[in-house]
Structure 1
Amino acid sequence: MRVSHLRQGTDPCPLVRIRACVRYHWSVQAPPQHNPSESRPRQSPSSAWALATLLVITALGLTFRLWDLGTLPPSPDPDELSIGYNAWSILETGRDEFGTPYPTAFRAFGEYKRPAFIYAAVPSIALFGPTTWAIRLPGAIAGTLTVPVLYALAVSLFGNRAIGLLAATGLAFSPWHLQFSRGAREAAFITLAVTLLALCLTRATTLILGTSTTGVLPRRVHVWAAGAALAMLLAMYSYPGGVVFTPLMVGASAWILRSHLRRTALSWVIAIAIVGVGAFPLARQLLDGRVGARFAQASLLNDVDLQKLATKRIERDVQLGIPWILDHPYALAARRAVDAYAGHFNPTYLFTSGDDQPRHHGTDTGQLYLWDAPLILAGLVILARRRTHPAYQFTGLWLLIGPVPASLATEAPHAVRSIVMLPAWYLAGGIGAVAIWNRLRTGKQARSNQFASPTITSQVPAWRRRVAPVIAGVYLSLLVPTVTYYAWATTRYYSLEYAPYWLDGTLEAFAYAQSRVDDGTFRHVVIPSHTQAIYLYALWETRYAPSRYLGHGGTGQLDRATVAPLRFDPFEQRVVSWPDEPGSTDTLSAFLKIDGRQPPSRARIVREVRDAGGEVRVVLFTLPA
């Protein structure tokens, strides 16, 4: 009904006139801007119900992360032991395994680990001792905290608690997130840091967009900007990829606020100052090469196979007299980077098989559940349709920039380097789920705040409202058994099938070796150094005091010669030439069976230690005199 008709008095019913005006307002006029200082309209579900549900979800997420934490995965891998022993050494001596006092980058295996997880493990080891459970506890806590932070982010973005609860639920039981928050993995910390960064950026952006262009910005904008800077620093000190990803996320936020940059200059100055001061140690490490060490190890440009391929192609191009610029290593690396980038959106990688490293995903699953796919697909459709609205822009840009750090490295798609995408996947899933439900049930799109888009209503047939609960029930009947099977298969099969990837059995081998030294059977234990990190298993299992280890020179002994032995009585890790190795009845050799390696034929086996899957992992033997 036209408003002009109402003004002419052609409709005598006031109620009809009011309804017509309301319909006209929502269909023609833009919705009024919401003032952040005013109370938000009542949302469904209610805040009390949503908070109670979030607490239950978070508690269940914590339970999933703490259950059998010390034994599943079956054994700490070298990276976990490096974190654990360095944290123990910091606790006891204030130095790392090389003797460096309170480092901001831990040398470890030459890749210079970021310090956040190691320092977080210090109080855990102080409380619970040097155990596998204590090493992994900080990751489980960080993973659990990410769940309510993601809820807060979704509510801040879309003003909808249902989206927040769905996103938080997805993350709480995500096979991708569980895998990295149950082990001592820096990935758990960078996921938390990136989600906090997104929350702070979103809160600041919401306040900015909710203030008139001529008005004074609330002081809370500066507070959230400072919080974003601190979250950015946490990401940078958690994992090397944070140095690449976080500036891209901040850049995405700046692009959304491009018309407000001048009036937000003070907030940017505050944030840049905090990051500049906090990142000063990283700047020093960039100059002395420590920051570049990890990038050099994983960079596409340093891939040996790529360099060989480029050399062969260039030689052939020169012989044929054709331009070789397209076969330059940079050109080949660029093409591989594009392929790696696209691989992170591969449905097979995401929903069925995961990446090529079994330590990065659970049993019989991809990085996400298969039944996440329909909701994420629906969410991507909504993101594309509403790409002009800031909230959807931010979420979409998050997904687009997420694979960038991993695309510059080898072994792509890579679940660790691209885990910064994970919260955005579940935001998309929450958007899709609520959009489908509202479309079927009420004909409405998801309620949103001024940072998103207007609510649109329409009439729907009654049969669609009746069908909506049925569809939801069918979906849950598929999803719940999938999650249950994941938990069951992981506890039943993971340790058996993937034990070799965790070097399971190695700790038990050194416990046995130490017991034979203690009872006087042997005086020395030789560890062949075909696996560089194996010494950490001996240090950890025998509870070798860091002060005692540093008294022998620590791992810094390796710097004294090109091929130096690493001695910590009664153990010695060194390069061994078995044909020339003299025999001795008081020396026990601990040989790790990996990569097809076998002990020497003249070995007299004392014991074979098997992993959880029944395979021989370590052979303990002597050589005849």
Structure 2
Amino acid sequence: MDRLSKIILAGILILAFGVRFFGIAKSPPSLNWDEAALGYNAYSILKTGRDEFGKKLPLSLRSFDDYKPAVYSYVAVPFIKAFGLNEISVRLPSVIAGTVIVLLAYLFAKEFFKKEQAALISSFLVAAEPWSVHFSRVAFESNLALMFFLTGIYLFLKSRKYILPGFFLILSALTYHSEKILVFPLAVLSFIFDPGSLSRFASSSIFSHYPASLDLIKALITRYFSYFSPVNLFVRGTPEPTQHIPNFGMFYPLEFLLLVVGLYFLIQNFRKHKILFFLLVVSPVPAIATWNWFYPARVLPLFFFLSLIIAYGLYRILNKYTAVPVLVILISGVLNLLTSLYFFLPYQERGNWQYGMREMAQALTKYQDSHQRVVIETKTAQPYIFLLFYTQYDPQKYQEYSKDILSPRNSFNFDKYEFRDIYWDKDKDLKNTLFIGPESSLPVTPVYEVKDFEGNVLYRVAETK
């Protein structure tokens, strides 16, 4: 790697970090409930060594009875220690992981293609592609798991040893559920280097004795190929509102052409690139057994390896033809992405996030001390976690309440806080109570109103003496 390449790569990494870090407290416009849960549990572990339910140094977090892997929370602990409990400290591990993934794109492309230019193009595309930018700006366990997963694969490809790569692969499996499934097919990598092991596997495979039903096979195949659909990847994206940047697919539309070019040249030398193709085809496996039709968070490795092929297609075009039109369109796409990210997402898409919960918690903090009871009405799911997060509620104190919470949870109430619908005709007779809810539930002169940037009332704060 010459000096110029080092400078270019450093510039790409700085760009990648900047795009991922700039404005992360405001775009996306608020934490979602999973981010708040990961952050508060990290805060609880920092303060008490236990999660919100009092479990000591857990490997998984009960949270919303979905038992999230705890690794992201552990990684967030030093950031919360340094910067406090806020959006930046919770999202920063994902920002850093996303930047490291850009470096890994360079390393993988150098390993697969043996071309410096192709490696630099790969790192640039991953730095700027919609899927990578978005998942690096939100506290997604899947993004952190992707960094660990790719590190493990790369170390294995370079050394053919197992201990250090195995450590990172196990860490990825502990970080996100999809990697638990994906790590197992990677044992097949040994078949690539030891073909004789394939026959040993076939003799012991349960599939040779218990074939799946035809309907199941059809369903799995259909779901599998949905993750290779050009419409899903390059145009429409996903119906999951928190898993894409508005108006974008996972990739820029022009990249479909580059993908075709990349595949064309790589398939011509298939044996040389069989590891890349193997990684590509196994990447959607964790997602096909779930009910979601197209759920990007579960297939980030697929997007990464597609990015490498797209980059190789651009590399071949650059070396054979004038690529000015392609570069102009790509740069225009990146600028459009940044516009959507920094201007459209925080405002027009705020309804798809839990916008207003931070402001509601701030209002609650301002008025709650003089009241014995607080009643909160909100349509937001898991509302208690936002109150814990934004008020930095003492974890040790909350653990005294959470130990009595049943599973599955039937109430969010704790301390003096009640989460329920407000019936003003009846509730107005409650003494010394603070109410927070929508205008329709509080037909009374408020002491405060939480509004969005357009002046719309999100929550009204009222009180009884």
TM-score norm. by structure 2 comes to 0.89
CA contact (8 A) 2:190 2:197 kept: yes
Helix, strand or coil at the partner of 1:359: coil
Alignment partner of 1:52 is 2:34:
no
User: 1:269-284 maps to which residues of 2 (within 5 A)?
Assistant: none
Distance (whole Å) between structure 1 residues aligned to residue 232 and residue 461 of structure 2? 39
User: Residue 404 of structure 2 corresponds to which residue in structure 1?
Assistant: 557
2:154 counterpart (168, 185, 199): 199
SS state at 2:69 partner? coil
The counterpart of 2:413, out of the listed 531, 542, 566, is 566
Is 2:190 the counterpart of 1:254? yes
Distance 1:565 1:79, change over 3 A: closer
Larger CA deviation: 110-119 vs 46-55 = 46-55
Once the two structures are superposed, what CA deviation does each residue of 1:437-494 show, in whole Å capped at 9, x if it has no partner?
A: 33x2xxxxxxxxxxxxxxxxxxxxxxxxxxx2xx311111111111012102221111
- Deviation track 1:471-527 (CA, whole Å, cap 9, x = no partner) reads 311111111111012102221111111111211111111211221123x3x332123
Q: Which residue, out of 315, 332, 350, partners 1:434? A: 315
Alignment equivalent of 1:488, drawn from 332, 339, 355: 339
Amino acid aligned to 1:497: Q
Kept in 1, the 8 Å contact 2:363–2:450? The answer is: no
Q: Does 1:610 align with 2:417?
A: no
The 1:349–1:602 alpha-carbon spacing in structure 2 relative to 1, beyond 3 Å, is: same
Q: Which has the higher contact order (CA 8 A, sep 6+)?
A: 2
Match of 1:231 in 2: 168
Distance in structure 2 (CA, Å) of the matches to 1:610 and 1:529: 14
**Contact 1:495–1:613 (8 Å) recurs in 2:** no
Which amino acid in 2 is paired with 1:234? L
Query: Unpaired runs of 5+ in structure 2?
Result: 199-211
Task: Kindly provide the CA deviation profile for residues 252-310 of structure 1, in whole angstroms up to 9, marking residues without a partner as x.
Answer: x2232133769xxxxxxxxxxxxxxxxxxxxxxxxxxxxxxxxxxxxxxxxxxxxxxxx
2:436 counterpart (578, 583, 590): 590
Deviates more, 1:609-618 or 1:229-238: 609-618
Distance 1:120 1:246 in 2: 21
User: What residue identity is the alignment partner of 1:571?
Assistant: Y
Q: How far 1:613 sits from its partner (Å)?
A: 6.2
- Tell me, in whole angstroms, the C-alpha distance in 2 between the residues paired with 1:248 and 1:350: 24
- Over 3 Å counting, the alpha-carbon distance change for 1:618 and 1:558 in structure 2 is farther
1:98 counterpart (32, 53, 58): 53
CA contact (8 A) 1:564 1:574 kept: no
Residue 68 (structure 2) pairs with residue 113 (structure 1): yes
RMSD: 2.7
What amino acid is aligned across from residue 383 of structure 1 in structure 2? Answer: L
- Is residue 295 of structure 2 the alignment partner of residue 359 of structure 1? no
1:613-624 alignment runs, 5 A limit: 616-621=457-462
Question: 1:48 Cα deviation (Å)?
Answer: 2.5
- CA deviation string 1:565-609 (max 9, x = no partner): 6213x4233587888757325222333x6xxxx854867755542
Amino acid at match of 2:250: Q
- Residues 529 and 512 of structure 1: is their aligned pair in 2 closer, same or farther, counting only changes over 3 Å? closer
Q: Is the 8 A contact 2:423 2:441 kept in 1?
A: no
Q: Does 2:134 correspond to 1:179?
A: yes
Contact 2:61 2:68 in 1 (8 A): yes
Distance in 2, matches of 1:246 and 1:561, equals 30
1:397 Cα deviation after fit: 1.8
2:389 is aligned, of 536, 540, 565, to 540
Task: Return the alpha-carbon distance in structure 1 between the equivalents of residues 356 and 29 of structure 2.
Answer: 9
Contact 2:142/2:297 (8 A) holds in 1: yes
Is the contact made by 1:609 and 1:616 (CA closer than 8 Å) also made in structure 2? yes
Cα deviation 1:64-118 (Å, max 9, x = unaligned): 1110122211111100000000000000000100000100111111111112211
The aligned amino acid for 1:478 is I
How far apart in 2 are the matches of 1:530 and 1:331?
42
- Partners of 1:603 and 1:238 lie apart in 2 by 48
- Select 2:279's aligned residue among 394, 398, 405: 398
Per-residue deviation at 1:355? Answer: 0.3
Cα deviation, 1:119-174, whole Å, max 9, x if unaligned, reads 00000000001111111111101111111122112212222122211111111112
Q: Provide closer, same or farther for how the CA distance between residues 563 and 145 of structure 1 changes in structure 2, counting only shifts above 3 A.
A: closer
Give the Cα–Cα distance (whole angstroms) in 2 for the partners of residues 234 and 47 of structure 1. Answer: 33
Is the partner of 1:558 in helix, strand or coil?
coil
Query: Is the 2:148–2:172 Cα contact (8 Å) retained in structure 1?
Result: yes
Report the Cα distance in structure 2 between the residues aligned to 1:483 and 1:56, rounded to whole angstroms.
Answer: 16
Quick check: 1:375–1:430 contact (8 Å CA) kept in 2?
yes
Q: Check if 1:386 corresponds to 2:233.
A: no
For residue 45 of structure 2, give the secondary structure of its aligned residue in structure 1: helix
Residue 513 (structure 1) aligned with residue 449 (structure 2): no
Output the amino acid matched with 1:384.
I
Q: Does the 8 A contact of 1:507 with 1:537 survive in 2?
A: yes
| Residue 339 (structure 1) aligned to one of 196, 218, 222 | 222
Match of 1:152 among 77, 102, 107: 107
Who is 2:355 aligned against?
504
2:408 and 2:109 map into 1 onto residues whose CA distance is: 55
Residues 241, 417 of structure 1: 8 Å contact kept: yes
Distance (Å, rounded) in 1 between the aligned partners of 2:445 and 2:223: 48
Secondary structure of residue in 2 paired with 1:357: coil
C-alpha displacement of 1:236:
0.3
Contact 1:406 1:418 in 2 (8 A): yes
Question: What is the DSSP-based 3-state SS (H/G/I as helix, E as strand, rest coil) of the residue aligned with 1:567?
Answer: coil
Is the Cα–Cα contact under 8 Å of residues 362 and 490 in structure 1 kept in the other structure?
yes
Q: Secondary structure at the match of 1:416?
A: helix
SS of corresponding position for 2:294: coil
Task: Give the Cα separation in 2 of the matches to 1:513 and 1:369.
Answer: 43
Amino acid across the alignment from 2:195: S
State whether residues 258 and 313 of structure 2, in contact with CA within 8 Å, keep that contact through their aligned partners in structure 1: yes
Q: Structure 1: how far apart are the matches of 2:178 and 2:461? A: 40
Q: Secondary structure at the match of 1:525?
A: strand
Secondary structure at the aligned position of 2:31 is classed as coil
Q: Distance in 1 between matches of 2:452 and 2:215?
A: 41
Give distance in 2, aligned partners of 1:118 and 1:381.
42
Secondary structure at the aligned position of 2:28 is classed as coil
Q: Output the CA distance in 2 between the equivalents of 1:116 and 1:560.
A: 22
Q: Which has the larger radius of gyration?
A: 1
Letter in structure 2 aligned against 1:366: G
Range with greater deviation from structure 2 (176-185 or 336-345): 336-345
CA apart distance, 1:55: 1.0
